Structure 1
C-alpha cells in the first residue's frame, strides 16, 4: 500500500515537471510543498514498521524479470531524507525566487528521478533514474564546466549497472534478470576478473561529482554557491545511495580488499581537502559547501572501512562502520541543508556572501546567527549531535583495524585515523572562523547593519531540522534500532544484537559512549561557566556587548568601527599556515623563561634543544612536520615490538 502511494507521488511529480516545461507561464494547480510532504508522510510508517522488504512489480523492464519498485531499509532512509529536503526547500521559500538559468520544472523532475533511483528494485530502473537525475543536475547554466562530468558520471553509472546485470545472466539465457533479489543471491558473481576491477572505478566516477570528492571538489562548490539549498543536498543523497547500493548491497558479501582501501584513501583525502577549502573560502556558501563535502568524504571512508572489514570477515567492525554511516548521513546532511538555506538568507539581507563584508550578524540577525552557530557546530562534530557519535564509531572501527596483525588492515586503519582526525580538526577551525567573522564583531557595510532577521516561519523550520539532528545524537541506539534492517542487509550481520537505547558501544571492546549523560555534563558546564562569569568576574568600568569585542563605541567618523580592530577572514588561516610552514616568528627578545632566573643544567639543555628544534622547523617547513609526525607515530606504535 505504501509503494502504491509513493508510485502515485512519483507520477504526480513527473506530470508537474512536464507541465512546467510545456507551459512555463502557467501556475501549478498543486502547492509545491504538498507532494514532498505526502511522500515523507508515506515513508515514515515504513521506517517505523521495520519491515525488511516490500515490492511492487511494474510493467517496465525485461520479460519475466523480478524487478519493479522495492522499499527496503536503505531506500526507506534515503527516500525519507529526499522528501524532507524537498519539502523544506518548498516550505522555506527557497524555490520561490525565479532564476533564468534553472529551467521550469527542474525541481519536481529532479526529485522524481532521485526518488525513482532510490525505490528501484532492478538494475534497469536504477539506471534510468540515476542517469536522469545526474543529467538534470547539470542542465542549467548555473554550474559552468559540468557538461563533461555529468556525461561521464551518467555513462559510468550505466556501465556499472550493466556489469551487475551481466553477472546475473543464467546459463543459456539471452537476457538478464536484473532484479535486486536475484543479484543479492549471486554473491561474489563478479569473481576476480575485469568486473571486480571496473565496478568500483565506475561507481566512484558516477558518485564523485555528486559528493565533491577529489578531483570534483571545485564543481561541487560551484553547485553549492549557485543553486538552491536543496539541490546539493539531493546530489549528496543520490551519490551516497549509489555507492551503498552498488558496492555494499549488490556486489556480494566478500568484496576484494582493495575496494575498501581505495574508498578509505579517497574519502579521507577528499574530506581533508574539503575541510581545508572551507577554512580558506572567501564566500559563506563556499565555506558551507566545503563542510558538506567534508562530511561526504568521511562517509565514503566509513563505507570503505565497512567493505574492508567484510573482505576480512570482521562483522563487528563492519557493523560499527555501517552504524557510523547511518548516524552521519541524516544528521550531517540536514545540518548542511540548514546552513545553505541560512547562507542564502544572509546573502539576500546583507547584499552578498563575501566573508570580508560580513560581520555583526549577532546584532542585526540574532535568530539567524544563533541557528547558524548551532548548525555549524553540528557539522564540526560538536557533541551531543549525532555527528559526534558517528565519528566516535568511525574512530573505533579504524582503531580496531589498527590492532589487527594483517598489514593491509593495519595500514588502512592508521591512514583512516590520521585523515579523520585531520578532517575533524580542520572542520572545527572552519567553524571557529565562520562564527567569529560572520556573527561577531561590528557590521562592515551599511546594508549589513540594516539587515532584517529571518522570518519566524523559516526559523521554526530550521529549528525543527536541527532538533531532529539533536534527537538522533541523544538517542543513537533508538535510531540504529529503527535502521537495523539496513545493517542486516548491508553488513551481513543477521545474528547481531540490537544496539542499546541510550549509548553507543562496540561489541567485544568494552568501549561505550553515553550520549545523554555527556549532553547533561555539557549543559552543566555551560551553566557553571555562565554563573562564574556573572558572580566571580570583577565589575567592568564600561559594559559593552560581547559582539563588540570589548571596544568602545565607534566615533562618528567611523560608523562601522576601525577595520583593524576586527578579525579578518584570513586571520585564522594565516596563523595556522604560519604554524605549519614554520614562518611564524616571535618578537625579538621574547622567550618564555625570564632572563636572570637561575636555571639548572636540565632546563638549560631543554632550552637549547627547543631553540635548535625551532630553528630547524623554520628552515625545513613541511618536511619538519612530516618527520615529527613519523617519529610520534613510531613512538606510539613501538610498544608492540618491545
Structure 2
C-alpha cells in the first residue's frame, strides 16, 4: 500500500543498512529546527555545531565499518515522493564511500565553524571582529543532510529532489553574508547555474527512465538506452553534474560563490559538495548507463584536461586567498574527471584491471582533495579571523604571529602541490600509473591522446606548485604588509583542532594510502567488474602495487624514511658549517644605493605571478599590464594595473546573456495581449506538444 513503509526484498538487512544514515538525516533536520527556534540563545551555536559534528561522526563511522565489512546493498521504500512509487533509499559501496567523505568533512567543518563563529563574535581568537560570518546555523546541518540524501537516493525523483535541496541550502548559506558587496551577485549566479544544472539532470534521468518506464535505478540498470540516447545522457551529465563540480566552461559561479560563503561553509562547498557532483557522474556513467563506449571517456579526458590547466591558471591570477582556493578546486576537479575518463576508456576496451586502477586514482583524489582543500579553506578562515583581510597583498609575516596555523598551512600547501610523502602525491602518482598504461589500448588515437592528457596533468601539477608557493610565501613569509597583519595572533583551540585533523590525515594517507584504497575497493570492483589490484595477497599491506605486471609500486614509509635520511643530514650540515654564527648585513635593495626598509620593497602577489601571467595570460586571458610611472620629481605613486578576461564570460556567457535579454525584450509584448490571443497561443502550444508526442511514439 502507498502509505506503508515497504522493505525489499531482504527486509531486515535492508532496513538496518540504511537506518543509521536515515536517523542521522532526521537528527540533522532537528538540529536545523533548534537553530531557528533558539537562534538568539547564547548556547545555540554550541548545540548545533556540536550536534552536527556528532551526527556526522556517527555516519562516517557507520560508512567506514560498512566498507570494511564489505556489507551488501539493500533498498528500502519510504511512503513519500511520487504517488504509488515512494522514495527509494539504498546504501551500497559507492554511496557508503561518498557518505564517509561528506560526513567526515562535516565533522571537521563543524568543529572549525564552532570556533570560527565564536571568534567572529569576539569570544575567542585574536581577530578584529571582521569576517564573513552570518546566520548559517539553520542551514548548515540541512546542507549536510541534503548531500547525504543525494548519496542515498535510489530513484531519479528522490535524487533530483535531494539535489535541488542541496543546491538551495548551499545558496542560502552563500546569502548568509548578504551584507558583503559582491555576495548578492554571486548568489544570483550560483542559483542560475544550479537551476540549469538540475534541468540537465532532469532530462538525463528522463532519457534513462524512458526505456524502462520506471524511475527506480534497478529498473534503469536493466534497460540500457539506445546509442543516441546514451550520447545525450553523457552530454547532459557533463552539463548537469559538471556545472556543480566546476568544469570549464561551467565554472564561472564557483570563484564567486565559494569565497562569498563563511569559511567553514566554503570548505564544505569546495571540499565536499563538488564530490557529490563526482558521485553523480560515477553513478550514471559507470552504473546506470550500461556498457560504455570509448569516446565517453575521451570526452571526459578532454574536458578534464582543459579544466585542470585553466583552473590552476585562474588560481595564479587571484590575489584573494579564498578565490584562489576556489579556482584551485576547478583544477583538482579536472584531475578527477581525467581519471574517470581513463577508467571509462579502459573499461570500454575490456581492460578492467587498468580501469580499476584509474577509477581508484579518481576516488583516492576525491578523498585527498576533500582533506587538503578543507584544510586550506580553514587556514583562509584563520587568516581572515586574525587579520580581517583575504588580500594577499595585505598579509605577510604570519609565520611568526600564527605559528600553528603556519605549520598546518604548509602541510596543506605541500599536499595540494603533490609533494611526497603527502596524500596529494599518492593520488597523482596513481593517476600517472594509469596514464602510463595507455599502450595497452588498441586505438592509436587513444594512445596519443592520453599522452597529451598526461602532459596536461604534469603542467597543471607544476603550475599548482608555483601557485601555492606564491600563496604560502606571500601570506606567511617576509614582513607584514599591513598593520592588521602586523597585529595578528593565533586563533583559538577549536579552529586549530579543525585544521589539525585533516592536516594529520594528509600525512597519514600519504604514508599509508592502502588503508583508504581498500575501503573503496568494493565500489571500484562493482563499477568496473574487476578487482583493482592483481596479486594483492602477495604484497605487504604497506605497499601500493597498482598491477602485478605493469607499473611501479609505492611505499610511503620508505619514501618518508628516504626524505628524512636526506633532509636531516643536510639541515645539520647547513647549520654546522653555513650558519654557525649570526651575521648582519643590509638587505639587497633591488639596485638602489639605500635599500627601502619598508614592506613595500618585498615581492607582492602580483609581481610573483607576473612571469606566468605574461607567459599564459596574454593568450588565454587577454591579460594586460598597465604601468603608470610618474616623471622624476612627481610625487604621485607608481601604479601597476592588471586586467584580464575569463574566456568563458567573453565567448559563452556574455553572448548568452545578450541573447536572453533580446528575447525577453521581444517577449515583453506578450503581457499586453487579449484573452483571445492567449487562448490561441495555448491551443497552438497544445497542438505542437501532441504532434511531438505522436512523432516520438511513432
**TM-score where L is the length of structure 2:** 0.75
Name 2:280's counterpart in structure 1: 242
Q: Return the alpha-carbon distance in structure 1 between the equivalents of residues 45 and 333 of structure 2.
A: 35
Q: Deviations over 1:136-192 (max 9, x none)?
A: 3334353242232121011112222222222323xxxxxx1x333343344xx1121
| 1:68 partner SS | strand
1:6 equivalent to 2:6? Answer no
Q: Return the alpha-carbon distance in structure 1 between the equivalents of residues 470 and 45 of structure 2.
A: 43
Name 2:271's counterpart in structure 1: 233
Name 1:520's counterpart in structure 2: 561
Selected match of 1:42 from 62, 68, 92: 62
Going from structure 1 to structure 2, the CA distance change for 1:66 and 1:154 (only over 3 Å counts) comes to closer
Q: Using the TM superposition, give the Cα deviation of residue 10 of structure 1 relative to its aligned residue in structure 2, in angstroms.
A: 0.8
Q: Using the TM superposition, give the Cα deviation of residue 514 of structure 1 relative to its aligned residue in structure 2, in angstroms.
A: 2.4
| 1:217 partner SS | coil
1:566 equivalent to 2:602? Answer yes
Q: Deviations over 1:595-635 (max 9, x none)?
A: xxxxxxxxxxxxxxxxxxxxxxxxxxxxxxxxxxxxxxxxx
Q: Return the alpha-carbon distance in structure 1 between the equivalents of residues 341 and 366 of structure 2.
A: 15
Selected match of 1:192 from 227, 230, 234: 227
1:155 equivalent to 2:203? Answer no
Selected match of 2:462 from 425, 430, 433: 425
Q: Return the alpha-carbon distance in structure 2 between the equivalents of residues 280 and 324 of structure 1.
A: 28
Name 2:210's counterpart in structure 1: 166
| 1:69 partner SS | strand
Q: Return the alpha-carbon distance in structure 2 between the equivalents of residues 15 and 7 of structure 1.
A: 13
Q: Is the 8 A contact 1:85 1:234 kept in 2?
A: yes
Q: Deviations over 1:340-393 (max 9, x none)?
A: 011011012112011111100111111111111110111111111222122112
Name 1:108's counterpart in structure 2: 141
Q: Return the alpha-carbon distance in structure 2 between the equivalents of residues 551 and 367 of structure 1.
A: 30
Aligned ranges for residues 591-630 of structure 1 at < 5 Å? none
Q: Deviations over 1:428-482 (max 9, x none)?
A: 1111111211111011112211101122332233222122222222122232222
Q: Is the 8 A contact 1:152 1:206 kept in 2?
A: yes
Q: Is the 8 A contact 1:402 1:414 kept in 2?
A: no
Name 2:105's counterpart in structure 1: 85
Going from structure 1 to structure 2, the CA distance change for 1:540 and 1:103 (only over 3 Å counts) comes to closer
| 1:45 partner SS | helix
Going from structure 1 to structure 2, the CA distance change for 1:24 and 1:275 (only over 3 Å counts) comes to same
1:33 equivalent to 2:50? Answer yes
Going from structure 1 to structure 2, the CA distance change for 1:86 and 1:21 (only over 3 Å counts) comes to same
Aligned ranges for residues 166-565 of structure 1 at < 5 Å? 166-169=210-213, 176=214, 178-186=215-223, 189-193=224-228, 195-228=229-262, 229-252=267-290, 254-402=291-439, 404-493=441-530, 497=534, 499=536, 500=539, 501-507=541-547, 508-537=549-578, 539-542=580-583, 561-565=597-601
Q: Using the TM superposition, give the Cα deviation of residue 21 of structure 1 relative to its aligned residue in structure 2, in angstroms.
A: 5.3
Q: Return the alpha-carbon distance in structure 2 between the equivalents of residues 350 and 19 of structure 1.
A: 32
Q: Using the TM superposition, give the Cα deviation of residue 290 of structure 1 relative to its aligned residue in structure 2, in angstroms.
A: 2.0
Q: Return the alpha-carbon distance in structure 2 between the equivalents of residues 226 and 62 of structure 1.
A: 36
Q: Using the TM superposition, give the Cα deviation of residue 246 of structure 1 relative to its aligned residue in structure 2, in angstroms.
A: 1.5
Q: Using the TM superposition, give the Cα deviation of residue 270 of structure 1 relative to its aligned residue in structure 2, in angstroms.
A: 0.7
Q: Deviations over 1:20-74 (max 9, x none)?
A: 5577556489433323233323333213222232433322456776972211111
1:125 equivalent to 2:162? Answer no
Q: Return the alpha-carbon distance in structure 1 between the equivalents of residues 381 and 226 of structure 2.
A: 48
| 1:542 partner SS | coil
Going from structure 1 to structure 2, the CA distance change for 1:234 and 1:396 (only over 3 Å counts) comes to closer
Selected match of 1:51 from 58, 71, 80: 71
Q: Deviations over 1:84-118 (max 9, x none)?
A: 22222221124565978756622122111111000
| 2:371 partner SS | helix
Q: Return the alpha-carbon distance in structure 2 between the equivalents of residues 9 and 197 of structure 1.
A: 37
| 2:428 partner SS | helix
> What is the aligned-residue RMSD (CA, Å)?
2.9
Selected match of 2:612 from 565, 571, 576: 576
Q: Deviations over 1:311-352 (max 9, x none)?
A: 111112211111101211111111101110110110121120
| 2:437 partner SS | helix
Q: Return the alpha-carbon distance in structure 2 between the equivalents of residues 250 and 580 of structure 1.
A: 40
Q: Return the alpha-carbon distance in structure 2 between the equivalents of residues 48 and 301 of structure 1.
A: 27
| 1:146 partner SS | helix
Q: Return the alpha-carbon distance in structure 2 between the equivalents of residues 100 and 348 of structure 1.
A: 10
Q: Return the alpha-carbon distance in structure 2 between the equivalents of residues 31 and 235 of structure 1.
A: 20
Q: Using the TM superposition, give the Cα deviation of residue 306 of structure 1 relative to its aligned residue in structure 2, in angstroms.
A: 0.8
1:69 equivalent to 2:89? Answer yes
| 2:270 partner SS | helix
| 2:544 partner SS | strand
Going from structure 1 to structure 2, the CA distance change for 1:251 and 1:162 (only over 3 Å counts) comes to same
Residues paired across the two proteins, number: 563
Worse overlay, 88-97 or 294-303: 88-97
Q: Using the TM superposition, give the Cα deviation of residue 540 of structure 1 relative to its aligned residue in structure 2, in angstroms.
A: 4.6
Unaligned runs of 5+ in 2: 1-15, 122-131, 620-698
Name 2:677's counterpart in structure 1: none
